[in-house]
Structures are given as C-alpha cells and as structure tokens.
Structure 1
Amino acid sequence: MKIAVLGAGKMGISFSRSFLKFELIKPENLHLITRRKENIQQLEQQFPGSKVSDFLGVSTVDADLIIVAIKPQDFQFVAENLKFRLNESQMILSIMAGIKIKKIQHLFNHKKVVRAMPNSPTLLGMGITGYTAAKGISFVDLMQIERFLNSTGRSVYLENENLLDGVTALSGSGPAYFYYIVDAMIKAGTEMGIEKNLAELFVKQTMLGAYHLMNTSDKSLEELIKDVASKGGTTEAALQTFEENRLKDSLKKGILAAERRSKDLSE
C-alpha cells in the first residue's frame, strides 16, 4: 500500500514513523508533502528512502491513502491550491480537528473520506483515536484504516460523526488536563518545602502507579478512592476540600466547554 501524508508536522511525522516501525508500509511507498521548503532536507534525513515534496511542487500523488495532517485553519487554502487531483480509488484520512467530512468532501471534490481524532500520546505509540467514515466506505477499507491507526496506540470506530466533538474534548484535549493537575500537585509539593525535582519525581511516579493500579484492578474508581482515603485521615481532608471547591464540577464544565468550542469550529 502507498501512503501520502499531506502536512508533515508533528502528527503527520508521528503517524509515518509508526507505519514504518510496524512495517505496515515500505519506506519507498511513503510520500511526505510539506508546505515548508526549508523542512525538505531534514525530512529526507529522517525518512531515508521515502519521497519528500514541497506542497506547491506536487502535480500528481501516487498513493492509495492520503492522510491530511495540516492545521485546520490552513485547510481551505490547501484544498483550493492543490495542483493534483484525486482519483476515485484513493481514500482520504483526515486527522484535522473540527473539520467535518462533508466539508472535506466538498473542498476536495472527493467522496471517500475517513475522519479521525488522535491525541498527542500517539507520538509515543500510546495514543487513542476516535474515527468515523463517510457513507460508502467498505468494511475492508475501514479495517485497513484501523490497522494503521492502531499502530499509534488504540482506535475506536464511531457511527455518529458528531461524537468526535466529544472525543476532541475528552481525549484530544485530555493530556492537557492531566498535565494541569500534575502541575498543581508539583507546585503544592514545592510550597511544602520539597525540592522541585523531588516533587516532580513523587508526583509522576504516583500518577504512573495509580494508572497501572486502576487499569489492572477490578475495583471501581469509587472503591479505589476509598482504599486510599481512610476515615479522618489526610486523603479525606484533601477530598473534602476538593468537594467544597467543586473541583469535579469545574473539570466537567471545562471539558464540556471544550466540546462546545469543537462544535463551533466545525461549523
């Protein structure tokens, strides 16, 4: 299978590396297309044996799958200035946030479109991607797409495209919420007199261990919390303060605000 990546930024490069790492494609069957001429030499060094082109210099693209990994705000310009045309057998996989299938089909004048929403841990092969597809995409084609997406972590197919706004808010933006909480914990540690590097070690290792315990335990989240929060103890004091300040409600409101913003952008 031949793949072209339109937009060789962080996410496009991440996907390309995963495909090559798991030998889903051969280097010679990968075509990276960048808008920045100054990046061509660096990309050629990073991807020996693969084709690297400047966006404005590409007149034909010999690929079965074209991954659109450009910034959403640049999409209309790119679509209107393409010098190559897609044929009916080619398939588009968009990983742009907020750009709906209908708009992609219209601007590319092409029906075979799959839309996906990955998150930043795909850079390490530990991401999760929600995806959906236009009508008429065959089961075989979807399984091929899922195979590629799973090389970057895990993937989940969604029948309803509108749910991708929720996926964007939950997992697409989710790593930032996690970092936000970690940052607050580290700063609390330094206020208690713990050196920053030690505070970071304690918090990061705690988060890592808690994740694995949560992922391997049969207990619910409420039960896991109770295991740590003994009656009248230190954890209970912290949790009571969180409840008094409606921390959980604030987090939920923030995530719902992200979903609303995603819907606004898609309009």
Structure 2
Amino acid sequence: MKIAILGAGNMGLSFSKSFLKYELIKPEHLHLITRSESKISKIAEEFPKSRISTFEETKELDADLIIIAVKPQDFQHFTQNFEFTIRENQMILSIMAGIKIEKIQNLLNHPLVVRAMPNSPTLLGMGITGYTAAEGISFSQLISIERLLNSTGRSVYLENEDLLDGVTALSGSGPAYFYYIVDAMIKAGVEMGIEENLSKLFVQQTMLGAYHLINNSEKSLEDLIKDVASKGGTTEAALKTFEDNRFKEILKSGILNAEKRAKELNG
C-alpha cells in the first residue's frame, strides 16, 4: 500500500511512525506533505527514505490511501487551493475533528471516505481511535484501514457517524483533561511543601497504579472509591469538597462543550 499524508504534523507523523514500525508500508511508499517548507529538513531526518513535499509543490498523489490530517479550521481553504486530482480508486481517511463525511465528499468531489478520530497516545502506540465509513467502502478496504489504525493502539468501528463528535470530546480531547487534573494534584503537592519533582513522581505513580486497578478489578468505580475513602477520613474530606463544588458536573459540562464545538467545526 502507498500512503500520502496531507498535514505532516504531530498526529500525521505519529501515524507514519506506527505504520513503519509494524512494517505495514515501506518507507519509500510514504509521502508526507507539509504546509511549512521550514519543517521539511526536520521531517526528512526522521523519515529519510520517504518522499516529503509542501502543499504548493504537490501536483499529484501516487497513493492508494490519502490521509487528511490538516486542522479542521483549515480544511475548506485547503480544498480551494490544492492542485492535485484524486483518482477514482483512491481512498480518503480523514482524522480531522468535526468535519463530517458528507462535507469531505462534497469538497473533494470524491465518495470513498473513512472518518476517524484518534488521540495523542497514538504517539506511543497506545491510542484509541473511533472510526466510521461512507457507503461504497468495501469490507476488505475497511479491514485494511482498521489494520493501520490498530498499529497506533486500538480502534472501534461506529455505525453512527454522529457518535464521532462524542468520541472527539471524550477520547480525542480526553488526554488534556487527564493532564489538567494531574497538574492540579502536583501543584497541591508543592503547596503542601513537597518538592515539585517528588510531587510529580507521587502523582504519576498514583495515576498509573489506579489505572491498573481499574483494569484488573471486577469492582465498580464506586466501590473502588469506597475502598479508599474510609468514613471520616482524609479521602472523604477531599471528595466532599469536590461534591460541594460540583466538580463532576463541571467536568461533564466541559466534555459536552467539547462535543458541541466538534459539531460546530463542520460549519
């Protein structure tokens, strides 16, 4: 398979590394296209055998699969300014937040579109991607796409495209919520007099251990919380503060606003 990636940013490059790591494509069959000419030399260091070009100098795409990894806000401008033609048998895989399949089909005048929403842990091969496909994509084509997506972590096929906006809000944006909470915990540690690097170690290892407990326990989250929060103890004092300030509701509200913004990106 030959793959062209339009938008060689963090996500496009992390996908590329996964494809090459698992030998799903040959380096010489990878074409990376960037908006910025100044980034070409840095990209070339990481992908010495692949073709690298700017949008302006790209006149044709010799690829079976074209991955669109530009910012959703830039997509319409991009479609109005690219000069290459998409061939009838080429597949499109969009990893843009919010932009629906129908809009991609209309702007590119091309029916074979798969839409996916990955998240940043794909950088480590530990991401999760929700994806869906337009009518006309064959089962074998979908399996090929799934194989590529699974090289970056896990993937889940969704029949209902509308759910991808929720996936965007939940897992696409989710790592940032996690980092936000971790940052607050580290800063609380510093305020209590714990040196920053030590506070970071305590919080990171706590989060790692808690994740493994969730993964390996048959208990519900409510029961796991009760295991830590003894009556009248320190954990209960913290949880009461969270409840009094509606922390859970605020977090849920933020996630729902992220979904709302994903829907707005389609224009």
RMSD: 1.0
Q: Which residue of 1 aligns with 2:80?
A: 80
Q: 2:147 is aligned with what amino acid?
A: R
The 2-side partners of 1:230 and 1:3 are apart by 55
Where do residues 193-204 of structure 1 align in structure 2 (5 Å cutoff)?
193-204=193-204
Could you tell me how far 1:200 is from its partner in structure 2?
Answer: 0.8
2:103 touches 2:266 (CA, 8 Å); kept in 1? no
3-state DSSP of counterpart to 1:66:
strand
Aligned identity (percent) is 73
Q: 2:127 is aligned with what amino acid?
A: G
Could you tell me how far 1:41 is from its partner in structure 2?
Answer: 2.1
3-state DSSP of counterpart to 1:8:
coil
Deviations 1:14-52 (A, max 9, x none): 100000001000111111111212222222221121111
Structure 2 portions without partners, runs of 5+: none
Where do residues 236-247 of structure 1 align in structure 2 (5 Å cutoff)?
236-247=236-247
Q: Which residue of 1 aligns with 2:50?
A: 50
1:128 aligned onto 2:128:
yes
3-state DSSP of counterpart to 2:132:
strand
Q: 2:117 is aligned with what amino acid?
A: M
2:31 touches 2:52 (CA, 8 Å); kept in 1? yes
The 1-side partners of 2:152 and 2:191 are apart by 38
Q: 1:87 is aligned with what amino acid?
A: R
Deviations 1:106-163 (A, max 9, x none): 1111000001111111111111111111111111111110110011111111111111
Q: Which residue of 1 aligns with 2:165?
A: 165
1:179 aligned onto 2:182:
no
The 2-side partners of 1:241 and 1:83 are apart by 57
2:27 touches 2:50 (CA, 8 Å); kept in 1? yes
Mean Cα deviation higher: 36-45 or 110-119: 36-45
Q: Which residue of 1 aligns with 2:141?
A: 141
Could you tell me how far 1:227 is from its partner in structure 2?
Answer: 1.0
The 2-side partners of 1:30 and 1:10 are apart by 16
Q: Which residue of 2 aligns with 1:69?
A: 69
The 2-side partners of 1:190 and 1:49 are apart by 47
The 1-side partners of 2:250 and 2:38 are apart by 43
| TM-score w.r.t. length of structure 1 | 0.97
3-state DSSP of counterpart to 2:56:
helix
The 2-side partners of 1:20 and 1:39 are apart by 20
The 2-side partners of 1:84 and 1:219 are apart by 54
The 1-side partners of 2:237 and 2:77 are apart by 54
3-state DSSP of counterpart to 2:96:
coil
Structure 1 portions without partners, runs of 5+: none
3-state DSSP of counterpart to 1:156:
strand
Q: Which residue of 2 aligns with 1:225?
A: 225
Mean Cα deviation higher: 170-179 or 51-60: 51-60
The 2-side partners of 1:258 and 1:61 are apart by 34
1:60 aligned onto 2:60:
yes
Q: 1:13 is aligned with what amino acid?
A: L
Deviations 1:151-197 (A, max 9, x none): 11111111111111111110111111111111111111111111111
Q: Which residue of 2 aligns with 1:263?
A: 263
2:73 touches 2:265 (CA, 8 Å); kept in 1? no
2:64 touches 2:90 (CA, 8 Å); kept in 1? yes
Deviations 1:36-76 (A, max 9, x none): 12222222221121111121112221110000011112111
3-state DSSP of counterpart to 1:87:
coil
| TM-score w.r.t. length of structure 2 | 0.97
Moved segments of 4+, more than 3 Å: none
